[in-house]
A and B are shown apart, each in its own frame.
Chain A
Amino acid sequence: MSNEDVLNPKEMPHEPEKATLEGKNKFIGFWFFLGGETVLFACLFGTYLALNGSTMGENTPEHLFGLELVFIMTMLLLTSSLTSVYAMYHMKNNDFGKMQLWLGITVVLGLGFLGCEIYEFYHYIHEYEFTFRSSAFGSAFYTLVGFHGGHVLFGLSWITALMIRNARRGLNLYNAPKFYIASLYWHFIDVVWVFIFTVVYLMGKVG
């Protein structure tokens, strides 16, 4: 029995991401990693909350943040979370074409989000001269939101690489776990964003 036969069964199992031992390992290992990431982001949030008053008298959160852009970004990212759920739905039904389509939409929405974030940072730096070095608040803000942005960028590159790599051969038991954990990562990015828009932007606006 060769690897090829094992990984390309005639009937895809119910949960292709967990059908092999490697898949099961990836699945649970990645979840554990997300548990660690939770602590990582908590430390960044804690730092932000400790320093968000240290504005040195200028460029306070209230003064800086505009809610329109943040609302658009939130909608983009929330929707991209749903589209990646659709992708996984089609993966479980073994419909590779539709899965790729929905992943593609996810990537486009993610790119939109990233574009908005770059615009936002550019805007703060050039209109308000609010930078990473202006104050402890500036450092904490760019670090927290930037770490999230970095995760978005990494997630986009990861999903794109997977889509291109597997475009011609379709779904099998080797790549199904990879797609699945990439989508978990994408959801986790959304989880972090929910707290960012609440704690940084909305609570910052309340003051």
Chain B
Amino acid sequence: MSTAVAQNRGLGAVIWDYLTTVDHKKIAHLYLVSGGLFFLIGGLEAMIIRIQLMEPSNNFISAGLYNEMITMHGTTMIFLAAMPIIFALMNAVVPLQIGARDVAFPFLNSLGFWLFLFGGLILNISWFTGAPDAGWTNYAPLSTTSPGHGVDYYVMGLQISGAGTLIGGINFLVTIVNMRAPGMTYMRMPLFTWTVFVTSTLILFAFPALTVGLFLMMFDRMFGSAFFDVALGGNAMIWEHLFWIFGHPEVYILILPAFGAFSEIFSTFSKKRLFGYSAMVFATVLIGFLAFMVWAHHMFTVGLGPIANSIFAVATMAIAVPTGIKIFNWLFTMWGGNIRMNSAMLWSVAFIPTFTIGGMTGVMLAAAAADYQYHDTYFVVAHFHYVIVGGLVFGIFASLHYWWPKMFGQVLNEALGKWTFWLFFIGFHMTFFIQHFLGLIGMPRRYWTYQEGQGLEVGNMISTVGAFLMAIGTLVFIYNIVQTAVKGEKVSGDPWDGRTLEWTIPSPPPHYNFKQTPLVRGLDALWVEKSEGKKGMTPAEPLGDIHMPNNSILPFLMSLGLFIAGFGFIYQVDDKMWLILVFIGMGITLGSMLTRSVKDDLGHHIHKEDLEKGAGE
């Protein structure tokens, strides 16, 4: 279905189209919009936290609400903002970069999105009924003894959205393994695709640990089991380990695609091929490998013993090596290049020192003995915001500027882009650099307030002012999006003089992406052709019928069923009547699965004659 037709058919048809779509480009829009909304909600929560900490003995929000605020800020930002925006980029770019017409499992792609969205909705509905308040790590026994239903919402929301992420991860693995265009060998894949491949592998192996952890937490809180209940022989450390066996790979899941995006941006805007491509691939794989060996560095102070602490400390420090390789390769990519300093490039260049600071504090924290001093202070808060914001959020802004034309056919305004950058960049360093010192002075994280006269006032005030600058920067970015959309100036398929396959097709791409599958003849496939004076790619096949998948409402229904069942599970603790919701919800989900299984879905063809007439563009 062409977008032009959809636009003429009124709002209802457009909504129905998005509810049923299996097109990776539209799913990317869905991920971006919902992830963006959750990002704003998480940002609002952050602002409330900063206002509360602005001055000593502040009473802006109550202590209980503060606990809910920090829990929801962390959970929302990691699971509901960062993950979906990463998935938005993966969906928008990866199939185009490998020369594919869609992902391997378009149906599952849509299912993954709806599961994520309904999980996120469950989590945020808790604001009206009492939000989770045991921190984003949800440590037992604090979480198992937390009164009310807040933690139940956390468990159900993350379980459902986590299932969506796992499905998405498998989908991208298979897409990259099976759907590459002819000639696109593994060592010719653009680095963003490589990082998505490694990230998806991490998702595949890390998320099951979260699934099990959440199941155990659910059984303990809702069905009276005793996994974390010491009185019946349980052991709270099981949650802590399961959470971090998942949780540490999770932060690499987030950062690796950002690394990939930076690699593309540095190379494009320096007009040079990426320095040390194979070393970059190797470093990415090595980071992925080490991701599973370091989780206990979050638990140095729980008493694992000196041997375990030493092993995990050394493994953690080892991660600095592949990361260092990457930093130097990016610098050498720019070295002697023909550099264009636009917004995307500004974010990328600013990322290097910011992330390096985060990396250095990371090595400091990895020293197990010293960690006893830093643990649970603002030093840790500063560290992980330097790597997550300085790495991932900078990466998201950079990639959005870079790929916005490909996703929406328009270039974001450069002047506003630079305003966003400078406001956010200065605000970020104001907010978090000072927190290193607050932490070293001894300010513990997660505390509702602090006393006067302990030397914490000035630092916290600076931090809050910085947070406001970041908020203003974000608002300018939203204004930029709106203004660009209203102006509606269209751009060509290749506004940046790009190097990879996504720039060989129109912006936004037709829904079958490539009229003819391209033949890839080297790394930076488009650049290879350009350097030989050709305009576009050589097709690898004659023009023929294109097979495309059919739209389906079933993914939406399956997720809706789990959403309904989630409430049943949460409230059946109070009254068994709520089990009705479990049966209704699971009935919808399993019924939809059965329908999917027995109803053939053979897809449809776009005919050659229509392609020649240019339909669907």
Contact = CB atoms under 8 A, between A and B. Distances in A.
Interface of B is mostly: helix
Interface in B221-280: 223-227, 229, 232-235, 238, 242, 245
Contacts of A50: 235, 238
B174 A51 contact: no
Interface in B195-244: 204-209, 211-213, 215-216, 219-220, 223-227, 229, 232-235, 238, 242
A206 interface: no
Contacts of B597: 158, 161-162, 165, 178
> What's the dominant secondary structure at chain A's contact region?
helix
Given A35-B205, A143-B215, A165-B598, A136 B173 contact: no
B105 interface: yes
A92 B594 CA distance: 26
A10 to B, nearest CB: 19
B209 A135 contact: no
Contacts of B224: 132-133
A55 interface: yes
Contacts of B612: none
Nearest to B108: A29
Interface in A50-73: 50-51, 53-56
A138 B229 CA distance: 12
B223 to A, nearest CB: 7
Contacts of B220: 139
A25 B104 contact: yes
B208 A36 contact: yes
Nearest to B103: A25
Contacts of B170: 29, 32-33, 36
Given A28-B174, A140-B227, A165-B598, A43 B235 contact: no
B233 A28 contact: no
Interface string B173-204: 11001110000000000000000000000001
B174 A36 contact: no
B227 A51 contact: yes
B207 A36 contact: yes
A44 B216 CA distance: 9
A137 B600 CA distance: 45
B226 A29 contact: no
Contacts of B171: 29
B233 A136 contact: yes
B602 A3 contact: yes
A35 B170 CA distance: 10
B166 interface: yes
Interface residues of B, number: 43
Given A51-B233, A136-B232, A37 B208 contact: yes
Interface in B153-179: 166, 170-171, 173-174, 177-179
Contacts of B233: 51, 53-56, 135-137
Contacts of A158: 597
A143 B205 contact: no
Contacts of B208: 36-37, 39-40, 43
Interface in B558-608: 594, 597-598, 600, 602-603
Contacts of B242: 43, 47
Interface of B: 104-105, 166, 170-171, 173-174, 177-179, 204-209, 211-213, 215-216, 219-220, 223-227, 229, 232-235, 238, 242, 245, 545, 594, 597-598, 600, 602-603
16 contacts: A1-B545, A29-B104, A29-B170, A29-B174, A32-B204, A40-B209, A40-B212, A47-B216, A47-B242, A133-B223, A133-B232, A135-B233, A136-B232, A139-B232, A140-B227, A178-B597
Closest 10 CB pairs of A and B: A54-B233, A139-B225, A40-B208, A136-B233, A43-B212, A136-B234, A25-B104, A39-B208, A29-B174, A3-B602
Interface of A: 1, 3, 7, 21, 24-25, 28-29, 32-33, 35-37, 39-40, 43-44, 46-47, 50-51, 53-56, 132-140, 143, 158, 161-162, 165, 174, 178
Given A40-B209, A143-B215, 9 more contacts: A24-B178, A28-B174, A28-B177, A29-B171, A36-B166, A36-B208, A136-B232, A143-B219, A158-B597
